[in-house]
Amino acid sequence: MTRPARWAIVLAAGVALLAVGAIAFSIGRLSTLGDPTPTDASVEAGFARDMQVHHHQGVELAMIVRDATDDPDVRLLAYDIATTQAQQAGQMYGWLAEWGLPQFGSEPSMAWMTGPAEGGGGHDGHGAGVGEADASGHAPGEPMPGLATPAQVEELRSLDGVEAERRFLELMIAHHAGAVEMAEAALDRSDYPVVVSLAESIVSSQQSEIALMEDMLAERS
């Protein structure tokens, strides 16, 4: 595929993702109407902020590999991941807008995740103090589970063909596992309807995709 053709595909995909995000933003705002408003330091707000960051990197990794391979199965998987995670990120952006909360809060990342799991009802809960890890071993301000490092992202950018496919699958399996961990932490700490619904969807869909990607990786070993 020529470079101009690749850029045309990337541009078209980017426009599609922006449209998906805009629609999801509107849905996210409407979906929270009638429910109590979470606070800035709540589990719900922390989850919405951190999972947006996590999903944005998922979209980035997916779009990198879509431009690095001609394999139809990998390209289809990457497109599905990018569109799904862009849509979900748009939803969470919409939640925060509807709640009147900033997209970037005063709490460090993962503060909501490191507090005690009480089986839901964490609307006003705070996480552990900065630098204090909970029983899961996470501490507020540390990188979210499963995030690729900047060096790993740049490594993926440098590859193409089967090498890019393998590295993408390795990174995305870890990325999905981290998202599942975050979603399960939200389910343990919140009973807010839209948060529970999205977290359950993330756990189900990404566990299924992990199994698929493990098979795809084995085929390329």
Crossing angle of helices 43-66 and 150-157, in 10° steps, is 20
pLDDT tens track, the chain, 221 positions:
554 454 444 444 455 455 554 554 454 454 555 568 999 999 999 999 999 999 999 999 999 999 999 999 999 999 999 999 999 999 999 999 999 999 998 889 999 998 677 555 444 443 333 344 444 567 888 889 999 999 999 999 999 999 999 999 999 999 999 999 999 999 999 999 999 999 999 999 999 999 999 999 999 98
Q: Tell me the domains of the chain and their CATH numbers.
A: 3-113+139-219 (1.20.1260.10)
- 170 Cβ partners below 8 Å, 6+ apart? 217
CB-based contact 135:113 (threshold 8 Å): no
Residue 34: Cβ-neighbour burial (10 angstroms; 0-12, 13-18, 19+): exposed
Q: Is the pTM of this model over 0.85?
A: no
Residue 39: Cβ-neighbour burial (10 angstroms; 0-12, 13-18, 19+): middle
